[in-house]
Amino acid sequence: MPPSTDLRDLLAGAVLAVAPRLLGSVLRHGEVACRITEVEAYDGARDPGSHANRGETARNAVMFGPPGHLYVYFTYGMHYCCNVVCGPPGSPSAVLVRAGEVVDGLDLARARRTPARSDRDLARGPANLCQALGIEAKQNGHDLTRPPLTMTPPELLADDVRTGPRVGLRLAADRPWRFWLPKEPSVSTYRPAVSRRRGP
């Protein structure tokens, strides 16, 4: 008998409370499953770093919908990243899933991630994680209570959660809204967004 950690109950809260509680949860798509080790919170329309901060558009519409759905976006011309939409209703908040440990379907994950030099790299970084799990544009808006793409909350809350700045943002780069589990090899090293100089 599992504890009362129903996914919908968990995701109903405010994103800054929800994000660290998702560490240790399992995101499964078919035969591949990842235990989540690193996430970031995106706090509604007030968050300058969020895709939702300029209002609803075709791309970010899922963030404005009900909790428990997956917001998948395409970036840098070649990568997908996925977020879990959370509450409260009407606030376009979401948790970016940045990294995880592949705990099932290793063979398929390895086949999808041929550049990975070791298993810890299979789902290290948000775009790599999506690739390992086979998450693409057609999974945008998916309800995570419906197999084959599901999220299962952890049985125990992580008791040692680290926090720091979010990765790759120029806006609101000071907010420590990245959460990760210590001593997990799948957690990315921090890369600040640098304003790349062009020309002399």
Partner DNA sequence: GCTCCGATTATCT
Partner DNA sequence: GATAATCGGAGCG
How far lies 44's CA from each of 16, 143, 185, in Å?
Answer: 11, 20, 30
Contacts 24+ apart (CB under 8 A), 77-80: 79/126, 79/127, 79/130, 80/127, 80/130, 80/131, 80/135, 80/136, 80/137
Q: Does 154 bind DNA (CB under 7 A)?
A: no
With CB under 7 A as the contact rule, the residue among 90, 157, 170, 182 that binds DNA is 170
C-alpha span between 24 and 196 (Å, rounded)? 35
Q: Does 86 bind DNA (CB under 7 A)?
A: no
Q: Which residues ranging from 117 to 146 are in contact with DNA (CB under 7 A)? A: 117, 121, 124-129
C-alpha span between 117 and 181 (Å, rounded)? 22
Q: Which residues ranging from 13 to 72 are in contact with DNA (CB under 7 A)? A: 40, 42, 49-52, 54, 57-60, 63, 71
State which residue, 21 or 166, has the beta carbon closest to DNA. 166
Minimum CB separation of residue 160 from DNA in Å reads: 20
Question: Which residues are at the interface with DNA (CB under 7 A)?
Answer: 40, 42, 49-52, 54, 57-60, 63, 71, 73-79, 81, 83, 94, 96, 113, 115-117, 121, 124-129, 166-171, 188-189, 191, 193-194
